[in-house]
Amino acid sequence: MKTNIILMGPPGAGKGTQAKLIIQEFNLPHISTGDMFREAMKNATPLGLKAKSYIDQGHLVPDDVTIGIVEERLAQDDCKGGFLLDGFPRTIPQAEALDKMMAKMHRKIDLVIDVETPKEELIRRISGRRVCKSCGAPYHVDTMKPKVDGVCDICGGPLMQRKDDNVEALEVRLNHYEHETKPLLDYYKEAGNLVTLDGSKGKDLLFVEVKELIRGER
């Protein structure tokens, strides 16, 4: 089984949804830098205050800040048996820093799953996306409705729209993805552990492929 995994793809590709399925099935810690920043913003910590102005406008949080929080998180005990990185790395300096962290721990990334989805579909998904304010579980107003309107199926928390899920911030986020994150695909292709999947397939079909990849069956 692959245990040191990165999930990549543009905003709205379905990374968060696949991440929730992966951690349930394989019992890996979910390391989402976006979730970590949102938690820090909710608690108004110094990290949260620093990150807020970037995130609300769709910009990337500076590399030194982002790398620091991931390094701290990967050093925790629950990551010893593996981890699922979701939304990190997003730039070449972040990928290089991650390689150094891995080398220090005598480990290596063994699978990079890139979920690609056409832009029109990303816009449709992001504009209808709702998330649970308490646990961050993702929903969609048309395609992934909760059982009770406005209430999270998992924890009963209220559903809300992310502040950066609007058309202006999405354009900025897609632009960052295109220019800063996409070059990582070549970086990991060269490393030999990149697999690109079609995110427009729907979450269940996609998860069948994801499971096979993690189990090393394909």
Least CB distance to ligand AMP at residue 85 (A): 9
**Range in contact with ligand AMP (rule: CB under 6 A) among 17-25, 39-47, 60-68, 97-105:** 60-68
What residues does 198 pair with on adjacent strands? 116
Report how far residue 129's alpha carbon sits from residue 113's, in angstroms, rounded to the nearest whole number: 22
Q: What number of chain residues touch ligand AMP (CB under 6 A)?
A: 18
Distance, CA of 212 to CA of 15 (rounded, Å): 17
Site for ligand AMP, residues 171 to 200, rule: CB under 6 A: 173
Amino acid at 27: N
Written in H, E and C, the secondary structure of 42-60 is HCCCHHHHHHHHHHHHCCC
Facing residues of 5 across strands?
84, 111
Smaller CB separation from ligand AMP, 8 or 111 = 8
Which candidate in 20, 90, 125, 130 is catalytic?
Answer: 90
Residue 158 burial (CB count, 10 A): 11
Does 60 help bind ligand AMP (rule: CB under 6 A)?
A: yes
Residue tagged active-site, from 15, 20, 38, 130: 15
107 is catalytic: no
Closer CB to ligand AMP, 61 or 79, in the complex: 61
Non-local (6+) Cβ contacts of 77 within 8 A are: none
Q: Which of 20, 38, 125, 162 is catalytic?
A: 162
- Residue numbers of the site for ligand AMP (CB under 6 A)? 11, 33-34, 37, 54-55, 58-61, 66, 87-90, 94, 164, 173
